[in-house]
Amino acid sequence: MLRLLIALGIGLALAVARAAPLPVAGPVASGDARAVRGVVAAQLDAFAQDDAARAFSYAAPAIQAMFQTPERFVAMVRAGYPVVYRNASATFFVPQRDGEEIVQTVHLGDADGGIWLATYRLERQADGSWRIKGCDVQRASGKTT
């Protein structure tokens, strides 16, 4: 009886695992990889230069609609993502495709030696360009010296 319950439990777990959609991660064409990295790097540079209009220009239309002005957008980034707004270093990982989006992870260092992982999601626009539709920032373990 115990073996039957274990077998049923394993079978149910496998069925659920097969039914759950898995993220579609895959390679990114070299041209798209360069373009995505360029957009993220350009936005980081715009923040460093206090160029709100340029930083805002790299945000996807839905983000622009949400914040309406470059000043509101930059105020949100400054308050909620200080390491994105001002970082001491940025190291780009190899981007990955996730369905129609590209995920670009960036290792950011802050002025105090703290390290962070910023995961950007970018979407292709009708004109073929890439724009940032979101960024998740998590503190990583360790410190730089």
Give the span between the Cα atoms of 128 and 133, in whole angstroms.
15
| Residue with token string 């990982």 | 93
d(CA 139, CA 81): 11
Strand spans (E) along 1-145: 25-26, 89-92, 96-98, 101-109, 114-124, 130-143
Euclidean distance between CA atoms 104 and 2, whole angstroms = 47
User: What's the rounded mean pLDDT across residues 114-129?
Assistant: 96
Mean pLDDT of all residues in the chain? 85
The DSSP call for residue 23 is: P
pLDDT exceeds cutoff 80 at 5: no
CATH topology assigned to domain 26-143:
Nuclear Transport Factor 2; Chain: A, (3.10.450)
Residue range 114-132: mean pLDDT, rounded:
97
The pLDDT tens digits for 55-90 are 999 999 999 999 999 999 999 999 999 999 999 999
Res 26: pLDDT: 78
89-101 pLDDT per residue, tens: 999 999 999 999 9
Q: Please, which residues have CB within 8 angstroms of residue 51's CB and are 6 or more apart in sequence?
A: none
Whether residue 8 has pLDDT greater than 70: no
**Around Cβ 87, how many Cβ atoms within 10 Å?**
20
- Could you give the C-alpha distances from 51 to 27, 44, 73, 142, in angstroms and in order? 32, 10, 11, 31
Domain boundaries, the chain: 26-143
Distance CA 68, CA 121 (A): 20
Question: Does residue 124 register a pLDDT over 60?
Answer: yes
